[in-house]
Structure 1
């Protein structure tokens, strides 16, 4: 058995979900791991989202990664105390066009998925009998995590591991070939030598590797979200998607979704204008995370448009049969976006992997992406002789 001090070291730049995913996978593979994060805690995309691990609504490579991520999520509930549960996803249809999308979806949905009637949908959301959607698809295997605590708990687990550490409040200035053949991470607290470096800086990738970000078309997607008090007792149910969600996720693609898009363009153009994804997740404290709008920028302005927020709130209130929703918090999310690649993976310097999820699905696919990256490292650099993390 190789001593811990002799195990190869991986440095990870960024303590968001994608960076920590690589750290967890590297520890499980037997590496020594150092995570470097510029802020004193993760404050960007990984804490500003719904906490929805929506594997069942993805398609293609994203679907594969999402499904591979699910068991890793369950393992982190046990190992790291992550607040996550198998909530399922309820995709609600309130119009004939939306219901047609669900019927099309069910032809290729996961085996345990089922179509609910309007009454069953109302019961699932504990709606007043006077409020009845047309139907819903229940996709039972998806996960809802608490986005406020998840990355902090994973980071704490990494830092407590005998081969792991997390250095918060440490800015990375450069990642370059080291004098002794490895890779050197130049930080505000000194240099760090590693055998391999993973740069998982999200939309900030261009600050270290601007050419990589430019080739990948990486921009900033700004979104508006709110936390509201549930208008009635809802229990702790599934994540809820709506008709606008059907236009954003690959699993819904098809003629029915295009017909729905045309209907919304005619009847509700304001929802397409803000690129809305009207959805919500239910949290342990009885609140709902509601959103969201999307606008892409080279650098996202910090300003929130109250009209956009009100559109989202009105849609969510109508879904839940409420006159209005009591807002507790508002915030802006920012994540990496690209119309060229769904996932950016490049090696800008020997021994360095730059990786960014550019679809806003980091919580959904990130854990498997980290596992794949670590598994693909050259055999000469693997830590196979070191026992995996327990």
Structure 2
């Protein structure tokens, strides 16, 4: 086997996808019987336009790959963009400044970021895995990895010999390489997210002023500090909870809404109802409705660190890779090619 990928989330599958296209033989080892982590618990939002630096480069590459994969794997994808709603003058000022940084369309309500896309995260990752299996990737589902060594991946079901390995297990990188995780200050970010009923079509993803505080490209805009100061003064509890007030619509018409953020190395099992109340109240206000009917609630967890990407070499011919900024769906398909370029130089 040329390459073993540990983890069948979007980061792992991105590496498998690019490796197969290079003609490599690939195996993917996943501890669960299908992906159930951050790759299926998110908004399904390709938020390419609001990234900055190397994340923007990865995002723009990833956009083209998402379009290819949707066509080849047959999953639902909408090139409907993102509507950033401006509900205050300082938010409008940010968007006017942002127009000098990115190609966007200013509207009466805010701005449209036309390059962004939406997928259904509940089907997209599974469809990519099915496509890769058709292309010859060997999937080892419900298989726990014990150790990853140069040329060898030991699992609970036996050994897999390989020329190289990529460990793409998100926040669980500390389970394999604890010292590496400590060195890179890896934490777990806990999200509160919900799915609510909705009548009507809202085609683009929808972001707000709270979202501006969380996406790096908006930091280039001088007016962002006025937004931060006002929201902190007017809504201190929401800012403290790390609210990214946004939503996306699933194909059945329901909305994925959220989300709050809490950081720790170990996630407590308790789920404060107050955080869900905050998300529901603010989303209802954004939609102009009295209340929302909750269909599902869940907790998302992703890796977080001071740097947005972890690409490390814990052993020869082994790479540990995590998107440590909550933008795995947006960037993973652009991150994988340079990781493979670097890894294959060792073979």
- The two structures have a TM-score, normalised by structure 1, of 0.87
Give the total of aligned pairs.
346
Q: Tell me the residue number matched to 2:122.
A: 148
Q: Tell me the residue number matched to 2:167.
A: 199
Secondary structure of 2:260 counterpart: coil
Q: Tell me the residue number matched to 2:152.
A: 184
Q: Tell me the residue number matched to 1:221.
A: 189
Q: Is the 8 A contact 1:89 1:142 kept in 2?
A: yes
Instruction: After TM superposition, list the pairs within 5 Å mapping 1:107-126 onto structure 2.
Output: 107-110=100-103, 113-117=104-108
Structure 1 alignment gaps of length 5 or more? 1-7, 118-134, 178-182, 382-390
Q: Is the 8 A contact 1:302 1:332 kept in 2?
A: no
Q: Distance in 2 between matches of 1:85 and 1:350?
A: 41
Instruction: After TM superposition, list the pairs within 5 Å mapping 1:13-24 onto structure 2.
Output: 13-24=6-17
User: How far is 1:379 from its partner?
Assistant: 4.4
Instruction: After TM superposition, list the pairs within 5 Å mapping 1:339-354 onto structure 2.
Output: 339=306, 341-354=307-320
1:311-333, Cα deviation, whole Å (9 max, x unpaired) = 11111111111111111000000
Give the counterpart of 2:89 among 96, 115, 118: 96
1:359 matched to 2:316: no
Structure of higher CA gyration radius: 1
Q: Tell me the residue number matched to 2:66.
A: 73
Give the counterpart of 2:24 among 31, 51, 58: 31
1:286 matched to 2:253: yes
1:167 matched to 2:140: yes
Secondary structure of 2:66 counterpart: helix
Secondary structure of 1:21 counterpart: helix
1:327-357, Cα deviation, whole Å (9 max, x unpaired) = 1000000000012x11011111001011110
User: How far is 1:302 from its partner?
Assistant: 2.5
User: How far is 1:255 from its partner?
Assistant: 2.2
Q: Tell me the residue number matched to 2:299.
A: 332
Q: Distance in 2 between matches of 1:208 and 1:266?
A: 42
User: How far is 1:75 from its partner?
Assistant: 0.5
Q: Distance in 2 between matches of 1:38 and 1:379?
A: 29
Q: Distance in 2 between matches of 1:302 and 1:278?
A: 23
1:138 matched to 2:129: no
User: How far is 1:47 from its partner?
Assistant: 0.6
- The two structures have a TM-score, normalised by structure 2, of 0.97
User: How far is 1:161 from its partner?
Assistant: 1.5
1:96-124, Cα deviation, whole Å (9 max, x unpaired) = 121111111112122xx21111xxxxxxx
Structure 2 alignment gaps of length 5 or more? none
Worse-matched range after superposition: 15-24 or 144-153: 144-153
1:8-37, Cα deviation, whole Å (9 max, x unpaired) = 610000000000000000000000000000
- The Cα RMSD (Å) is 1.1
Q: Is the 8 A contact 2:247 2:255 kept in 1?
A: yes
Q: Tell me the residue number matched to 2:131.
A: 157
Q: Distance in 2 between matches of 1:107 and 1:281?
A: 26
1:281-324, Cα deviation, whole Å (9 max, x unpaired) = 01110000000000001111122211111111111111111111
Q: Tell me the residue number matched to 2:55.
A: 62
Q: Distance in 2 between matches of 1:204 and 1:364?
A: 20
Q: Distance in 2 between matches of 1:71 and 1:80?
A: 14
1:240 matched to 2:233: no
1:252-304, Cα deviation, whole Å (9 max, x unpaired) = 11321111111111111111110100000011100000000000011111222
User: How far is 1:156 from its partner?
Assistant: 1.0
Alpha carbons of structure 1 residues 329 and 316: separation in structure 2 relative to 1, 3 Å: same
Q: Distance in 2 between matches of 1:47 and 1:380?
A: 33
Instruction: After TM superposition, list the pairs within 5 Å mapping 1:379-390 onto structure 2.
Output: 379=345, 381=347
Q: Is the 8 A contact 2:91 2:209 kept in 1?
A: yes
